[in-house]
Amino acid sequence: MTADRGKQLSRRDFLRAAAATAATAFGAPALLRPVQAAGSGPKAAWESRFSACDMCFNRCGLIARVENGTVVKLDPNPKFTKSRGMLCARGNAGIAQLYDPDRLKYPLLRVGARGEGGFKRISWDEALDLAASKLKELGDTYTRCGTLFTAGADLQSQFVSRFAEAYGSFNVTSHESLCLLSGTRAFLDTFGEVPFPDVLNSRYIVMAGANRLEALVTPDSMDLVTAMQRGCKLVYLDPRFTKTAALATEWHAIRPGSDMAFMLALAHVIIRERLYDEAWISEKVYGLEQLAEHVRPHTPEWAEAETGIPAADITRIARELAAAAPEAMVYPGRRTSDYTDSTQIRRSFAIVNALLGNWDQPGGLLGARAVGLRSVPLDAPWYDDNPPERVDGGMAPMLFEHDGSFVLTREAVLSGKPYPIKGWFVFKTNPMATAPDRERTRAMIEKLDFMVVVDITMSDTAYMADLVLPAPSYLERLDPASGLQGSSACACVVWRDPVVPALYESRPVFDIVKGLAARLGLAEHFDFTVEQYRKRQLGGLPGAEQALVKDGVYYNPSKVYGLYDRQAHKTLSTKIEIFNQRYAQLGLDPLPVYTPPKNPPAGRFRLVVGRDATVTQSSTQNNALLHEFTPENTLWLHPDAARGLGVKDGDMVLVESVVGKGELRAEVTAGIRPDTVYMLSGFGVLSDGLSLIKGRGASINALLESGHDRITGNAAMHETFVTVSRRAA
Ligand SMILES: Nc1nc2c(c(=O)[nH]1)N[C@H]1C(S)=C(S)[C@@H](COP(=O)(O)OP(=O)(O)OC[C@H]3O[C@@H](n4cnc5c(=O)[nH]c(N)nc54)[C@H](O)[C@@H]3O)O[C@H]1N2
Ligand SMILES: Nc1nc2c(c(=O)[nH]1)N[C@H]1C(S)=C(S)[C@@H](COP(=O)(O)OP(=O)(O)OC[C@H]3O[C@@H](n4cnc5c(=O)[nH]c(N)nc54)[C@H](O)[C@@H]3O)O[C@H]1N2
Ligand code: SF4
Ligand SMILES: [Mo]
């Protein structure tokens, strides 16, 4: 019974553990016991072991307490400044992921029709022999590029990329084109690199489309709280009243898709009132005159009509932001998979920062600090018959070469053009639940001859596969080193040693690709162990290995501010480019041009995505501890809208878009605009292997239409209108 499963670890136990964690996070002495030393006393021996959390991509440092070979508690590593000695609710719940009875336990081969859920247990040798022979056959028939490789955020994802390259496919995608690539592009094409916001030292932050107190990014989330305690002002724009809105100095329920209008109006006021530092601009910035011309019509009054934010507030915010600059910022944001002009929207964020000189000095945006890890080179073979470029090549003008675009790749697989893709290797990512338009992902999968998924549970994507391979969770793995940057907080290196041995028959993806390489005559490209690989990565960092063993983290004391005092920016003009010359050459708008978002037609609502502090994308809903906090998703609906529909709080509603539908409970709340609805992702699953959440809530990704950012091909997930109607009880 699913209900019993949740009770194995009760919420009360969890809260007790979490409270103890919070206490030790701030009372560090309890943790400064020598790690690795066995505990003594009448009870069983215990040990503490370092690791890095993997309940989301932040990789916060942790110390696991192991008793008799069982992990009983996870604590924050107080020496880990990136996470400011914090483990969030999800981090604490890592134990329930490790010991989840729904874990995949051995290799599974599909029997029966795809997606029906029939699988049989096979041995690892059978599984690897089968995968290798399929990869060989696919390569011979469709070229090596006929197989797509998709890996999520993981320290071992680099081994999947390495394997893809050695095998000969350059069709590799990651979760990133469902996430932040348009923002990455925007800042890269303005500053020449992707900045890290120095939230801790900031005095004034404008934050739009970034729910930083629920969508946790370390150190930014903790630093935001500290900065605000020290007097930093937070201006927050979000169509929803989130926890960040609740704590912000001011919240504006901006009309979705109109952020660029707000930013252009800030630039208008800053230029009109000459609130910028002329000397800094003439030395560092290219394109002020063009911008001045461009934003002349974009008055605060104009922006008020677009955004719904009063002109007087926009003018005041521009002045306050400029007065605090350069210890101020328009926060770059992270998940930008919003609209079809996301890159240009985020360019407008970057431009306001450039205009105010919020760059390379305390409290603004910072260049990436040196971490110093070496990459391990690969001398990949050349395959003459391969096509000239990625399957999505040319489908968007500025794709990232390594990540491409998942939604455009999906179109290419569906059409078979420019060439067929018939194989898919998926590691630690769940596009059936996280890419927009689930039916389209399913249709893409129907086109494949062979699909293998490496996961820890039977995700909706694994559920559709031919071969499902069980992976160990982060607490069971030996992982390569990874560099982490967190503004002024750190430039550091982490790795993972197993806290406990791998459970069941699970095998790390390193062993999987190494096993495939051996079977495909590519063994020379994996002629190392993970330990040897790590030594090569750390080759240029004397003392790093000792620090990792002693503290669980190595810090590179690299320069934090003034990186660009004598360094050119990596742009065509070698300056910060407000006016982007390369865009002009490519026929793209060199300055962000505002197109008003469509308003939902009568009877429809714009559907937006967003996060909850107790849930990670699609991967923690079935975690027994976290499930108690968030057992299902709800549809946020404004009281006025609810009244018009005859819907009461808690009613079941049917939500429909042009691509899908779903039923879930309505949550009637004034914390959302009347023209907008919202639901959390990762519910409404198809898989029978997720016992706690099967049959609960609805899938937002089944409803989301599949748009993409015109410049990068990043998914544009906020371009969907839905209808809502009440279901009989
Ligand atoms: N707890 C938790 N933390 C996480 C994650 C997680 O899954 N759970 N995931 C991590 C990952 S991968 C990422 S990328 C980051 C994401 O970090 P964020 O991008 O901060 O995350 P979201 O919650 O998606 O925030 C987007 C917010 O934008 C609002 N919004 C929607 N449309 C508009 C608009 O047009 N204008 C404005 N101004 N706002 C709009 C939404 O209501 C939502 O609150 O979070 C990371 N941290
Ligand atoms: N509706 C909606 N869609 C979204 C978003 C949203 O806010 N709303 N956010 C978007 C963003 S910002 C992002 S980054 C993407 C993320 O999308 P994904 O990359 O799909 O991330 P997750 O949903 O976390 O899925 C991770 C998968 O890895 C598995 N897994 C977890 N740990 C391990 C492990 O140790 N080993 C292996 N092999 N597998 C493991 C999990 O079971 C899960 O199936 O989603 C995007 N899609
Ligand atoms: S933010 Fe939370 S879930 Fe993410 S790595 Fe840190 S502790 Fe783990
Ligand atoms: Mo993301």
Give the model's pLDDT for residue 45. Answer: 82
Q: Which atom of ligand 1 is nearest to the CA of 336?
A: 19
Query: Angle CA(452)–CA(458)–CA(416) in degrees, nearest 5?
Result: 35
Instruction: Write out the two tokens for 677.
Output: 């609805």
Contacts of 29 (CB under 8 A, 6+ apart): none
Higher pLDDT, 18 or 693: 693
Query: Average of pLDDT values for 291-295?
Result: 98
Instruction: Write out the two tokens for 729.
Output: 């009880």
- Ligand 3 binding pocket (C-beta < 6 A) is 53, 55-56, 58-60, 83, 87-88, 90-91, 216, 218
In the chain, the domains with their CATH numbers are 11-98 (2.20.25.90), 108-179+391-555 (3.40.50.740), 196-366+563-585 (3.40.228.10)
The answer to whether 293 touches 287, Cβ cutoff 8 Å, is no
Nearest-angstrom CA–CA distance, 85 and 560: 21
Nearest-angstrom CA–CA distance, 455 and 452: 10
Q: How far is the CA of 132 from the centre of ligand 2 (A)?
A: 26
Ligand nearest to the Cα of 611, by number: 1
Q: Which atom of ligand 1 is nearest to the CA of 240?
A: 42
- For ligand 1, mutation pick of 263, 335, 428 (most atoms within 8 Å of CB): 335
Nearest-angstrom CA–CA distance, 381 and 401: 19
Residue 104 has pLDDT above 50, yes or no: yes
Give the model's pLDDT for residue 29. Answer: 30
348 lines ligand 1 (CB under 6 A): no
The answer to whether 359 touches 353, Cβ cutoff 8 Å, is yes
Q: Three-class SS of residue 404?
A: coil
Tell which residue, 259, 141, 269, has the closest CA to residue 209: 259
Q: How far is the CA of 319 from the centre of ligand 1 (A)?
A: 27
Atom 4 of ligand 3: nearest residue by CA position: 56
Q: Which atom of ligand 2 is nearest to the CA of 435?
A: 47
Residue 170 has pLDDT above 80, yes or no: yes
Residue 380 has pLDDT above 60, yes or no: yes
Instruction: Write out the two tokens for 105.
Output: 């336990």
Atom 39 of ligand 1: nearest residue by CA position: 209
Nearest-angstrom CA–CA distance, 125 and 137: 18
Give the model's pLDDT for residue 729. Answer: 65
Residue 334 has pLDDT above 70, yes or no: yes
Q: How far is the CA of 618 from the centre of ligand 2 (A)?
A: 5
Instruction: Write out the two tokens for 713.
Output: 């091909």
Q: How far is the CA of 655 from the centre of ligand 1 (A)?
A: 22
- For ligand 3, mutation pick of 51, 97, 218, 474 (most atoms within 8 Å of CB): 218
The answer to whether 552 touches 80, Cβ cutoff 8 Å, is yes
DSSP string, 78-96: TT-GGGTT---HHHHTHHH
700 lines ligand 1 (CB under 6 A): no
Q: Which atom of ligand 3 is nearest to the CA of 616?
A: 3
Lookup result for tokens 């990133």: 176
Tell which residue, 462, 235, 215, 227, has the closest CA to residue 327: 227
Reply yes or no: is the peptide bond before residue 101 cis, omega within 30 of 0: no
Q: How far is the CA of 369 from the centre of ligand 2 (A)?
A: 27
Ligand nearest to the Cα of 335, by number: 1
Q: Which atom of ligand 2 is nearest to the CA of 454?
A: 38
Query: Average of pLDDT values for 124-134?
Result: 98
- For ligand 2, mutation pick of 97, 176, 182, 429 (most atoms within 8 Å of CB): 429
Strands 479-486 and 467-470: unpaired
pLDDT band at 43; cut points 50, 70, 90: low
Buried b (16+ CB within 10 A) or exposed e, 45-69: ebebbbbbbbbbebbbbbbbbbeee
Higher pLDDT, 26 or 222: 222
Residue 4 has pLDDT above 60, yes or no: no
Higher pLDDT, 552 or 729: 552
pLDDT band at 336; cut points 50, 70, 90: low
* Percent of the chain at pLDDT exceeding 90: 92
Lookup result for tokens 């999906």: 410
DSSP 696: S
Query: Angle CA(616)–CA(619)–CA(620) in degrees, nearest 5?
Result: 70
Using one digit for the tens of pLDDT, what is the confidence trace for 507-531? 999 999 999 999 999 999 999 999 9
pLDDT band at 25; cut points 50, 70, 90: very low
φ and ψ at 35, to 5 degrees? -70, 150
DSSP 410: H
Give the model's pLDDT for residue 44. Answer: 61
Q: Which atom of ligand 3 is nearest to the CA of 216?
A: 1
Query: Average of pLDDT values for 559-575?
Result: 95
Nearest-angstrom CA–CA distance, 697 and 683: 5
Residue 168 has pLDDT above 90, yes or no: yes
Helices (H), ranges, 528-682: 530-537, 544-551, 581-586, 624-629, 639-645
Query: Average of pLDDT values for 151-178?
Result: 97
Q: How far is the CA of 61 from the centre of ligand 3 (A)?
A: 9
Query: Average of pLDDT values for 540-568?
Result: 95
Residue 27 has pLDDT above 50, yes or no: no
Higher pLDDT, 11 or 98: 98
Query: Average of pLDDT values for 167-194?
Result: 96
Ligand nearest to the Cα of 407, by number: 2
Q: How far is the CA of 179 from the centre of ligand 4 (A)?
A: 4
Query: Average of pLDDT values for 585-606?
Result: 97
Q: What is the pTM of this model?
A: 0.94
Give the model's pLDDT for residue 36. Answer: 45
- Ligand 2 binding pocket (C-beta < 6 A) is 54, 152, 175, 178-179, 335, 337, 427-431, 433-434, 454-457, 459, 471, 473-474, 609, 611, 616-619, 681, 700-701
Q: Which atom of ligand 1 is nearest to the CA of 90?
A: 1
Instruction: Write out the two tokens for 8.
Output: 């194995």
Tell which residue, 459, 400, 395, 339, has the closest CA to residue 705: 339
Nearest-angstrom CA–CA distance, 194 and 366: 9
Query: Average of pLDDT values for 51-70?
Result: 97
Give the model's pLDDT for residue 728. Answer: 80
Ligand nearest to the Cα of 85, by number: 3
Atom 18 of ligand 1: nearest residue by CA position: 210
Query: Average of pLDDT values for 384-395?
Result: 96
Query: Average of pLDDT values for 407-432?
Result: 98
Q: How far is the CA of 239 from the centre of ligand 4 (A)?
A: 19
Nearest-angstrom CA–CA distance, 236 and 183: 18
Give the model's pLDDT for residue 557. Answer: 94
Residue 33 has pLDDT above 90, yes or no: no
Residue 39 has pLDDT above 90, yes or no: no
Percent of the chain that is helix, strand, coil (3-state, to 5): 35, 20, 45
Q: What mean pLDDT value characterizes the chain? A: 93
